[in-house]
Structure 1
Amino acid sequence: MLDKLEGGPWPSFVTGIKRLAKDEGKPYQDMMVDLLGQLEHSYKTRKGYWKGGTVGVIGYGGGIIPRFSEVAAQYPASKEFHTLRIQPPAGMHYDTKILRQLCDIWEEHGSGLIAFHGQSGDIMFQGATSEKIQDAFNAFNDIGFDLGGAGPAVRTGMSCVGAARCEQSCANEQKVLRTLVNNFLDDMHRPALNL
């Protein structure tokens, strides 16, 4: 059934997952094989089998989207498939060195599956086990990246490219974003959960 999602003129997420599932010797290969199995099962039964829960890193209450499989007995390698939301740099400027570092970290600690950028603007590093979340976060943090907002928290701010590409820019967009992020960082990382 998943094969049908690879037809048509648009790129398919299934093709990307299949590629990762064929990466022999990579630590995430078994996870991606079982993820394909669970997705196929999900499409056949027309039911989603992911449930939430609580997973985090030391000192943070947000930034991780927990996903636990309800069919873990059938697909044990993908029984946990958590997502780390990592704040992008202001204006979403990356150089190839940083992109390679991000990919290398995720190949070591996660599934290799990355989405640039999620609805909130964060880089979505999809597919980590509870055991690897802290290590992945530490590695991202070591190269200057921090968790974004997820769950009942203030979400990650975004800025346009600004003066880097726009001659009409009349503000320092990156400075404005950094000021806002710094002022609301506690509400992003440690939500009070007050209604």
Structure 2
Amino acid sequence: MPDQQRTDHRRADARRNYARILAVAEQEVAAHGAQASLEQIARTAGVGSATVRRHFPTRHALLEAVSRTRIDALCARAHELTGAADSRDALLEWLDDVVAYCVSARGLAAALAYDGAEPDPVHENSCSAALEQAAGPLLERAARDGAVAAGVTVTDLITLAVGVVLATEHHPEPAARADRLFRLAVTGLSPRG
């Protein structure tokens, strides 16, 4: 029985450490973006670097945890827009939300970025996977309606949004610049005839 109590105590302690690390990480990522110092997070949380890495084996895992609430909101927004009258407008409205969230939530674009590695349990991009699943019906409906080119995937759209945000994050007005570039990508370079 004493061993059982000690195990439960460690689990409670681990949960407290996780919550403390995550709270500090949210502040650090908000202040410094995706490159927030893991060592500073550990110091501020009052834990060792090994404890941070035990809970978050990669920087990407930490960014995903920090971004989880925003990702959940984007998924809910995709579900809300699925029944909208104009499928193209609904898809573009959702993508606008993705760009706006990524601009306003430092580190979110990096959490959504695809690193090209084969997914495995430690490196899987759960944020992007959640968005892909949530936005799938929006894109499928827009494609059925002929409002999106054949072969476009949600992965393509997330990559486009992330690329625009990462390219504009150091601009004096990142939100305005990201919106302009995203609109340009959506409408294309040719003037309407």
Specify which structure has the higher proportion of strand: 1
Query: Do both share a fold (TM > 0.5)?
Result: no
TM-score by length of 2: 0.29
Larger Rg: 2
Specify which structure has the higher proportion of helix: 2
